[in-house]
Amino acid sequence: MRSVSGEGLFSGTYAAATTSFAAVMFLTGFAALAVVPTLPMAARDLDGVSLFPLVAGCFVAASLLGGVLGGHWADRAGAQRPLAAGTALAVVTLLVSAASTSIWQLAAGRFLDGLAGGMVAVSINTAVGQAYPDRLRPRVLALMSTCWIIPSLVGPPLAGLVAEWWSWRVVFYGLAALTVLPTLAVVAVLRSRSWSAAPVPSGEKPPRPALMVATAVSLGAASGQYGVSGWSLRHLLFAVGGLALMGVFAPRLLPPGTWRAARGLPATVLLRGMSSGVFFTLEALVPLLLVTDRGVSPVSVGLLFTGAAVAWAGSSWVQGRLLERCPRHRLVVIGAVVLAAAVVVAVVGTLPALPPFVAASSMVVAAVGMGLLAPALTLLSLSHAPPGRQGSASGAMQTNQNLGQITVLGVSSGLFNACLGAGTTDSAGYGAAFGLLLGPCLLAALLAIRTRADGA
């Protein structure tokens, strides 16, 4: 990469740090994306299909806590410690998941993995802000984003191939082994005297309530996921307790008026959560349907994730290039309608007489809708943010994206388990769970006008 005034990302002081950060982000993305196609196989082998939504939701719930914890720690003591702790924890969590003897151990591993992933991502961004000069920050942040491209294309099918040839456990063990060297490199770089990433001095220490709120929300989300996995007094208590925690503490992390879709930033944040929840639920339940009910191979499921990634990227390019003059709120409407079409395809694909390809294609169609909708909502959130508060707006978008994923998946999973408890077939249960997703899609299309930017 070309140097800027003699100081490029890979020259002199920043060479080792940039290389180590890029390697960590690459393997973090690889681990986050590669294990997803193998999780349905793991849940089936561990006799925990009913708890699969808990396994999927734990990662998201913990990543919310990990992001807040990493940012809070980095602001108080510098990015070195949370980054080193997060990378080391990532290796441990992969080993915990690989050695799972029960679905509960796998869920614990995924929760810790989400915690580590959130800490790593936030800590790297913080380290960039604390130690790189202004002229290099855009380049290094762009490089960190680029490090997710190859994992999104190669990771899922490669993991599916390894799982089919050997075992899903080998995927976790292999990722743990690959992550050890970058982890040691990051620790060595951060301990070197040439690297300086101290917290930015300020007149007061960062407040602690945000960390406590995030902890309560994460615990509430995990409790709710378990609560909807069965029908008993114990499950009911967990569901009610989780819902209460989220209801009390989640609004503190979001702009006022989010739940009532107030015009501007609140409506934009709300729609981000709803749309992400629909896509995440399809991404979790469609592979589970294909693996446990249709007998589709892990390789094919992995290729499905690659196809969805390509569709998302292509759709995002179209909205940014060919549709750049279209008002963003109209792109939100179009994306929500496409997302609703994907839900219909998923419902139809649950019919036993149809080939698995029909249900699988719903993920690709949904990715097209999200490629249109997600960037439009991001731009709208920045346009609605008060001057100097773009960071807070972005944080609220990310927080509600996680909350939406957890909530929508939990409600759909609860309906799925209720159908199974009533004696229906698996196909009927999946059809009901997918059909429920039409509500958020149509509501997002109707509420899109509330995200309209001034002058659009």
Q: What is the DSSP string of 245-305?
A: HHHHHGGGGS-TTTTTT-TTHHHHHHHHHHHHHHHHHHHHHHHHHHHHTS---HHHHHHHH
Backbone φ, ψ for residue 373 (5° rounding) = -80, -45
Task: For domain 9-205, give the CATH number.
Answer: 1.20.1250.20
Distances, alpha carbon 280 to alpha carbons 54, 73, 437, in Å? 13, 29, 11
For the ranges 129-138, 167-176, 219-228, 378-387, the lowest mean pLDDT is seen at 129-138
- pLDDT at residue 420 is higher than 70: yes
- Tally Cβ neighbours within 10 Å of residue 232: 9
Alpha-carbon distance of 341 to 339, in angstroms, equals 5
- pLDDT for position 17: 67
Confidence of residue 112 (pLDDT cuts 50, 70, 90): confident
pTM: 0.76
Domains 9-205 and 256-456 share a fold: yes
Alpha-carbon distance of 85 to 442, in angstroms, equals 42
- pLDDT for position 151: 77
Task: For domain 256-456, give the CATH number.
Answer: 1.20.1250.20
Query: Mind listing the pLDDT tens digit for each residue in 238-261?
Result: 888 888 888 888 788 788 888 888
**Average pLDDT, stretch 423-434?**
86
Distances, alpha carbon 50 to alpha carbons 58, 87, 364, in Å? 14, 31, 25
Confidence of residue 2 (pLDDT cuts 50, 70, 90): very low
- pLDDT at residue 72 is higher than 90: no
- Which residues have C-beta within 8 Å of that of residue 425, sequence separation ≥ 6? none
What are the respective helix, strand and coil percentages of the chain, to the nearest 5? 80, 0, 20
Query: Mind listing the pLDDT tens digit for each residue in 155-196?
Result: 788 887 887 788 888 888 888 888 777 777 766 666 654 455
Extents of the domains making up the chain: 9-205, 207-253, 256-456
- pLDDT for position 119: 81
Q: Which of 193-202, 306-315, 332-341 has the highest mean pLDDT?
A: 332-341
**Average pLDDT, stretch 26-51?**
79
Alpha-carbon distance of 397 to 403, in angstroms, equals 10
- Tally Cβ neighbours within 10 Å of residue 324: 10
Alpha-carbon distance of 12 to 195, in angstroms, equals 11
pLDDT, averaged across the chain: 79
> In this prediction, what percent of the chain has a pLDDT beyond 90?
13
**Average pLDDT, stretch 84-110?**
87
- Tally Cβ neighbours within 10 Å of residue 181: 12
